[in-house]
Each structure stands twice: as structure tokens, then as C-alpha cells.
Structure 1
């Protein structure tokens, strides 16, 4: 994560650094992204970079942390639908909003694709370790609400249920899709199987 000196920078300068990193990591193979290319894009001296971040891995993890926070904010806005939707509908709506968030920005889609296919295992592991808990903590709150409403069983282990749903969705990149299957159909089937176990 960034050093305190990064957070002491003016917001415009922080944004220039983040925007430059976002562009580089979304366009270039992870191994070919350099500190030089990032600082040139941000218009800062190379020496300054090391006052803000330990290395490019550090900046990369921060980038995903910021994206994760934005996505979490979008999904938190969905709380207004809790009274109108049943649990299954709410989960599907959450996944639709999540997909919409990612698909509205082509650079974000490219970054995600490169993360899946090019990111070194250790860095990828650290990013997921930092970001996945944001999803299942948000889901814990949602599940808790539906338990209180009586839609899900009262003895449900909410933490485990949230972790299971999140893990299934995050691991979809490993799922072997049939030719006629699309990701939305598979997600809905996973949700249906999990919900039947939650009632």
C-alpha cells in the first residue's frame, strides 16, 4: 500500500499517478510495465515514485484497492432494493450491477483480463486476499437482512454463506463453459443451488 507521503500529495497529483498506472497496466503486459513508463505518464520524477510506493507491485495492489472501493460503493447503493426483491433477485441484481460497473470502462475490462492472464501469482494472490473480503463483508450484511426478514434460515452461518457465494463467483474463470452456456446462466444456476442449501 502507498506510503503516507502519497496521501499527503494534492489530489490532482495522486490522480495523475493512478491514471498513468491504470493506463499502463491495462495496455501493456504486467512484466513490461516499468516505473519509467508510469512516471513519464504521470509527469513526475522517477525518484519521487519511491517516496510514494515501494515498487510497481505496491502501486498495482493500490490500483485494485481503489477499484474495489468504487465497486463496493456502487453495490452499497443497491440497499434500496432490499425491500422490493427476494434474496435470489437481489443477488442477481448485485451481479448485474457488478458486471455493468466493469463493462462501462473498456480500460477496466482490459485491466481485469490482464490481471487474470498475465499477473504474477504472488501479486494476484495478494490482490485477491485484499479485495475478496470487501465482497463477502458486503454480502454478509445482505444475507443478515434476509435472515431477519425470515427468507433465509435463522441458524445460517452468515459468514460462511457469504464466503461460499463470493468464492463461487470469483472462481468462474476456472469453470469449463459449454458452447451454448453464458456466464449469467451459470451464475444463476450457482445461486439457485446455493440458495436451496441456505433455506
Structure 2
């Protein structure tokens, strides 16, 4: 995570560094991204980079932390719809909002693709360990709400349910799609299977 000096910078300068990093990490192979390329693009001296971050991995982890936090804020706004939607509808709405958020964030699709295929296992593990629980929190709140609403069974373990749903959705890229299957349809099928076990 960034050093305190980073947070003392003017917002405009922080944004320049973050945007330059997103641009580099989304276009260049992870191993080939250099601090030189990031600071040159951001227009900041190389020496000052180390006053803000420990290294390239530190900056990369921070990028994902910020993106996941912003996505979580977008998803939390859907909470006001809980009374109007079934659990299935609510989770599908969360997925739709997540997709819309990702479409709005410049280069996020390329950044995610490079994260999955080029990032070192150690850095990937650290990011997933820190960021996936934020998704659990959103789903835990939803599961608790729908248990109280009577739609999900009373003895359902909230943490387990949130973990299983999140794990299935996060790892959807491992699902072997047939040519006629769309990812969205598979997600609906997975959710339907899980809901049967939760009712």
C-alpha cells in the first residue's frame, strides 16, 4: 500500500500517477512495465516514486484495491432495491451493476486480462486475498437480508453462502463454455443451482 507521503500529494498528482499506472499495466506485459515508464507518463521524478510506493508491485496492488473499493461502492447503491427483488434478481442486478462499472472504467478489461494471464502468482495471490473479501461483504449483507425476509433458510451459514457464490463467479473463466453458451447464461445457471441449496 502507498506510503503516507502519497496521500499528502494533491489529488491531481495522485490521479496522474494512478492513471499512468493503469495505462501502462493495461497495455504492457506486467514484467515489462517499468517504474521509468510510469513516472515518465505521469510526469513525476523517478526518485519521488519511492517516496510514495515501495515498488511496482506495491503500486499494482493499490490500483486493484482502489478499483475494487469503487466497484463495491457502486454495488452498495443497489441495496435500496432489496425489498423489491427476489434474492436471485438481486444477485443478478449486482452482476449487471458490476459489469456496467467495469465498462465505465477505462482499460479495466485489459487490466483484468493481464492480471489473470501475466501477473506473478505471488502478487495475484496477495491481491485476491485482500480484495475478494470485499465481495463477500456485499453478499453476506444480502444473504442476511434475505434470510430475515424468509426467502433463504434460517440455518444457512451466511459466510459460506457468500464465499461459494463469490468463488463461482470469480472463477467463471475456468468454466468450459460450449460454443452456444454465453457467460451470463452460465452465471444464471450457477446461481439457480446455489439458490436451490440455500432455500
Question: Please, what TM-score do these two structures have when normalized by structure 1?
Answer: 0.98
Alignment of 1:160-171 (within 5 A): 160-171=160-171
Return the offset for 1:2. Answer: 0.6
Structure 1 residue 81 corresponds to structure 2 residue 75: no
Q: Which runs of 5+ in 2 are unaligned?
A: none
Q: Which residue of 2 aligns with 1:9?
A: 9
Return the offset for 1:105. Answer: 3.5
Which aligned segments of 4 or more residues in structure 1 are displaced greater than 3 angstroms? none
Return the offset for 1:104. Answer: 2.9
Q: Distance in 1 between the 2:158 and 2:9 partners?
A: 40
Moved more, 149-158 or 98-107: 98-107
RMSD between aligned residues: 0.8
Structure 1 residue 181 corresponds to structure 2 residue 166: no
Alignment of 1:141-180 (within 5 A): 141-180=141-180
Q: Distance in 1 between the 2:68 and 2:106 partners?
A: 16
Aligned residues: 199
Q: Which runs of 5+ in 1 are unaligned?
A: none
Structure 1 residue 192 corresponds to structure 2 residue 177: no
Moved more, 56-65 or 98-107: 98-107
Q: Distance in 1 between the 2:164 and 2:158 partners?
A: 10
Return the offset for 1:103. Answer: 2.1
Alignment of 1:71-150 (within 5 A): 71-150=71-150
Return the offset for 1:9. Answer: 1.0
Q: Distance in 2 between the 1:102 and 1:39 partners?
A: 25
Question: Please, what TM-score do these two structures have when normalized by structure 2?
Answer: 0.98
Return the offset for 1:153. Answer: 0.8
Query: What are the superposed Cα offsets for residues 83-142 of structure 1, whole Å, 9 maximum, x if unpaired?
Result: 110000101111111111112335111111111111111111111111100001111001
Q: Which residue of 2 aligns with 1:21?
A: 21
Query: What are the superposed Cα offsets for residues 128-181 of structure 1, whole Å, 9 maximum, x if unpaired?
Result: 111100001111001100011010111110011001100000011111111111
